[in-house]
Amino acid sequence: MIIAVDGTAASGKGTLAKRLATTLGLAHLDTGALYRGVGYALIIEGFSTQEITPYHAENAAKNLDFSLLDKPELRTPEAGEMASIVAAIPEVRQALLDAQRQFAQSPPEGFDGAVLDGRDIGTVVLPDADVKFFVDADLAIRADRRTKELINQGHAVMLPEIQTALAARDERDMSRKQAPLKPAEDAIMIDTSDLDVEMMVKTALSHCPQ
C-alpha cells in the first residue's frame, strides 16, 4: 500500500505520515528532509539565498548524504527557507525524483508499503498512490504550533516572524512552475485547525484500507 500525504508547512502532515506508517506497518519517508538536506548542504558551503545557482543546487541534490537527514539543523526556519528556494529549481526536483519513487516501490525490508509526505507526492511523485491526503490548517494556528515546537527545541523564535516565514514559504511553494503545492484531484482534504493529533490520525485512518 502506498499513501501520499501532502500539505502546507506546519499543517501536521509529517506527524500524520509518521503515525499512519507506524499504525499500518508501512515505511515512512519525509521528502521535505531531502530538500532541507540540499538547502543545508548549500548553507554549509557558504551560499546565501541570493547566490544559489541551479548548477550548485543540482550538484548538492545529486551528492545528498542521506545519513545526514536526521540532523536537527535541518529543522531550523533558515533551512526551511533554503529548502523552498532550492525546491523551485527543476534540476533539483528531477535529481530527487527517482530516490522518492524507488523508496515507494521498494520500501526497506520488512515493510509492505510506504507513506511519503511532502508537497507533490500525490500530484507528481506517486500519482497512482492508493490513498492521498492533503493536510492544511489556518495560518495563525500553524504558526502558533510551529513557534511552540521550535521554542521547545530551544530555538529563540517569535510568533510574528514564524507566521511571516510560513506564509512566504507556502506562497513560494504554490506559485512555482514545477510541481507546485496543490491538492491532487483525488486527495482527501483534512483541515487540522480544530483537530488534535489523535482526531487527525483517526480521521485519516477511516479512509485507509486495513
> Under the rule (CB under 6 A), what is the footprint of ligand C5P?
9, 31-32, 35-36, 80, 83-84, 87, 118-121, 169, 173
**Nearest residue (CB) to ligand C5P, 157 versus 210:** 157
**Nearest residue (CB) to ligand C5P, 26 versus 29:** 29
Tell me the closest approach of the beta carbon of residue 173 to ligand C5P, in angstroms: 5
Supply the angle between the helices 54-62 and 31-44 in degrees, to the nearest 10: 120
∠ CA 89-32-162, rounded to 5°: 95
**Nearest residue (CB) to ligand C5P, 26 versus 117:** 117
**Nearest residue (CB) to ligand C5P, 109 versus 185:** 185
**Nearest residue (CB) to ligand C5P, 42 versus 83:** 83
Whether residue 114 contacts residue 3, with contact meaning beta carbons closer than 8 Å, is answered with: yes
Tell me the closest approach of the beta carbon of residue 210 to ligand C5P, in angstroms: 26
CB atoms closer than 10 angstroms to residue 121: 31
DSSP state letter for 125: I
Report the chain's C-alpha Rg in angstroms. Answer: 16
Tell me the closest approach of the beta carbon of residue 56 to ligand C5P, in angstroms: 17
Tell me the closest approach of the beta carbon of residue 23 to ligand C5P, in angstroms: 21
Whether residue 61 contacts residue 38, with contact meaning beta carbons closer than 8 Å, is answered with: yes
Single out the residue of 106, 162, 170 nearest to residue 135, CA to CA. Answer: 170
Supply the angle between the helices 139-152 and 159-175 in degrees, to the nearest 10: 120
Tell me the closest approach of the beta carbon of residue 153 to ligand C5P, in angstroms: 14
